[in-house]
Structure 1
Amino acid sequence: MHQSFAAAFAATLALSTPLAAQEVTLRFQHFVSPASANPTYFMQPWVDAVEAQSDGRIKVELYPFMQLGGSATSQYDLIRDGAIDGGWVIPSYEPGRFPEAEALELPFMTPKSGEEASDAAWHYTEAHLMDDFADIHLIAAHMHGPGIIHKKGAAPQTIEDMAGVKLRGPSRPATDLLTAMGALPVGMPVPSFTEALSRGVVDGGVITWEMAPSLKLDELTDSHTDVAGDDALYNLYFLWAMNKDVYDAMPDDLQAVIDANSGLMASRWAGKAHDIGDAEGRIVMEDAGNEIAVLSPEETDRIKALGEDVRATWIADMDAKGFDGAALVQDATDAMTAARGTATE
């Protein structure tokens, strides 16, 4: 486990009960490589913590690459319906289903620290989304580090360089921004990205540094471009959750083990995992000899202006659906502001 969370791990060891026979086996599923950052630095350490603190009475089996069936876009329902006991969910893979969550994903909303963005995401979730997720048991709500433009060919220098470039996009806010920049966004979950690049379906895409090695972006793309400043071009919102009935059926002391590894601490932990992976992933791209670029502050400001248009359109759309779009944006912004500067070493 990363050092910054060692204290939390030690503090909850007191919850362990005397050694007893295993009582609960949980099957958790995700859709990425087990070598990528979140499984390496959050999911597996989370499993280890839960198993240790329960003295082995909870066993968690972790399945990558959707090995238990279904698709990345169906993860929420697989958990809700009990097809799996728990797993990793990207709500934006189902556009329009959880509209309030999109406020966290608006352009330039988050800092470039996954840990800080995840702190804010958990507080925003508590304020606005717990009713939306009432049919599952929520363990953590987190975000990743900065989204980067990875593409074949030279890095873009201006917005005009993005014209007609086919880029994978992960969410409605991200694809709306890419459209505003003149790119041709192609919405797809992360498991489809490598094949789409290989087949020429897309010229590149937006995703994190940490996911780049497992997706072979060092081989399949030539350049990797970030925006200037401290704000991320875009971000994505994730859930780590389990089936509600399975959780409710657990003995109180085992529920307490899950609870001790849930909430703000777990959300920050998951976000920190992405920060660690981002540093590692960037090095892999550099070592491959690929171009590492940062847009100028002036060009970044031009993109931010387009992002403001995306934000205004989103607010109007939310107002039409009966929400207070501006209030949601303000609450998300305030949560992010409060979390800035809180990242651990």
Structure 2
Amino acid sequence: MKYLLAGAMSAALMIGAAYAEDKVIEMSFSHDLPTQHPLHSQGFQVWADSIREASHGTLDISFFPAGQLGKAEDEYDIAKYGIADFVWANPGHTPGRFPIMALGELPFFISSGLGGTQAMNEWYAEYKDQEMGDVKFCVVHLHDPGTLHSTSEIRTPADMKGKTIRPANGTIGRLVQSMGGSSVQVGPSEAREVLERGAADGITFPWRSISIFGMDDVVHYHLDMPLYVTNFIIAMNKDRYESLSESQQQVIDDHCSPEWGAKIAAGWVEFDNEGKRLFQESPEHHVLELTDEELTQWKDASSFLLEDWKANVTAKGLDADAIYNAFVERLEAHDAKF
């Protein structure tokens, strides 16, 4: 027994000595969310604290929230060019740039934020280097399905004609345009102003999160349907990662996993699960329950997007059917396929 204890103590001392040789690295993390968003406090902060602890204090992450370092659509390049060491980004803000990952944006496709997060991390591991090789890809996470919130009643695809919508991503933007509407792409922090001054008639967004940005004062109609999810990534500047010691790189690698993706998303998923109930109980809000026929109209109207996705991926010289089937297999394994 004493030999086992001695061995354990020796191993601990060796690990401690390895980190003792590492210099303390101050790193920056850019995102466009307010600090009161559950992703910041229950996701990013928990993740950063765990990195600090696992590195014995040698990796310390400071946050630059609310778009301090750039616009939401620029976050990926903020990591690529080293303006920040880490970013949280929505790849869908730059349509066409990441065609493989865009598969996760298809309407009526993913039913669970947490299961979908696990599935997407496992599936995308094969493609991350070819599609996002200019950064150190860490994790992707989703939210539970969001819907359309609007300033006036919209029930069917026909009601979208002439409407201007702030879409969650490029895929939803194409859907809006196919229905005769138009899209305006702004970050969530700017969306309330756009809605308030009538430059947009609605927004696709997770249920409760609209209240964080004050949009619930403007949009009072909410479609009761699981329209879409959005892919969000944490990425790291590649040069910064390669400048770390082997032990520090291992800490980062350990925090770039499907399990950590789910941990980061969990607080947001729990927060948003209350959203629909709160709106149903509010006399100022109208949660619109659709008939089976109306829901079918939305599904039929969006069905072309899968073929569009396949065409875009095939044009890159990739096997779209194989990529699609691999993702479906992972979604089904995590009970996250719509």
State TM-score, norm by structure 2.
Answer: 0.87
Deviations 1:270-294 (A, max 9, x none): 3323311212444554565312233
Aligned partners of 2:173, 2:14: CA distance in 1, in Å?
Answer: 45
> In the alignment, does 2:103 pair up with 1:103?
yes
Aligned partners of 2:150, 2:170: CA distance in 1, in Å?
Answer: 20
Aligned partners of 1:254, 1:129: CA distance in 2, in Å?
Answer: 21
Q: Is the 8 A contact 2:99 2:309 kept in 1?
A: no
Aligned partners of 1:323, 1:24: CA distance in 2, in Å?
Answer: 39
Aligned partners of 2:179, 2:37: CA distance in 1, in Å?
Answer: 29
The residue type paired with residue 269 of structure 1 is K
Q: Is the 8 A contact 1:213 1:284 kept in 2?
A: no
- Cα distance change on mapping 1:35 and 1:27 into 2, 3 Å: same
Q: How large is the RMSD of aligned CA atoms in angstroms?
A: 2.5
User: What does 1:1-345 correspond to in 2, within 5 Å?
Assistant: 17=16, 23-67=24-68, 69-111=69-111, 113-154=112-153, 156-227=154-225, 232-282=226-276, 285-286=279-280, 288-289=282-283, 290-340=285-335
The residue type paired with residue 77 of structure 1 is D
- Cα distance change on mapping 1:147 and 1:168 into 2, 3 Å: same
The residue type paired with residue 132 of structure 2 is F
Aligned partners of 2:327, 2:246: CA distance in 1, in Å?
Answer: 34
| Range moving further from structure 2, 190-199 or 327-336 | 327-336
Q: Is the 8 A contact 1:16 1:55 kept in 2?
A: no
Aligned partners of 2:316, 2:57: CA distance in 1, in Å?
Answer: 47
Q: What secondary structure sits across from 2:227 in the alignment? A: coil
Deviations 1:247-297 (A, max 9, x none): 222222222222222211111223323311212444554565312233223
Q: Is the 8 A contact 2:73 2:187 kept in 1?
A: yes
Aligned partners of 1:280, 1:27: CA distance in 2, in Å?
Answer: 32
Deviations 1:227-249 (A, max 9, x none): 1xxxx412211111211121222
Give 1:150 shift.
0.7
- Cα distance change on mapping 1:282 and 1:17 into 2, 3 Å: farther
Post-superposition, which runs of at least 4 consecutive aligned residues in structure 1 deviate over 6 A? 13-16
- Percent same amino acid at aligned positions? 26
Give 1:131 shift.
2.0
State TM-score, norm by structure 1.
Answer: 0.85
Deviations 1:28-73 (A, max 9, x none): 0100111112212211111121122223222110111122x22211
| Range moving further from structure 2, 310-319 or 95-104 | 310-319
Aligned partners of 2:185, 2:37: CA distance in 1, in Å?
Answer: 21
The residue type paired with residue 123 of structure 1 is E
Q: What secondary structure sits across from 2:41 in the alignment? A: helix
Q: Is the 8 A contact 2:92 2:171 kept in 1?
A: no
Q: What secondary structure sits across from 1:337 in the alignment? A: helix
Q: What secondary structure sits across from 1:276 in the alignment? A: helix
- Cα distance change on mapping 1:108 and 1:14 into 2, 3 Å: farther
- Cα distance change on mapping 1:61 and 1:189 into 2, 3 Å: same
Q: Is the 8 A contact 1:109 1:336 kept in 2?
A: no
Deviations 1:188-209 (A, max 9, x none): 3323211211221101110112
The residue type paired with residue 149 of structure 2 is H
Deviations 1:167-211 (A, max 9, x none): 111222111222334433323332321121122110111011242
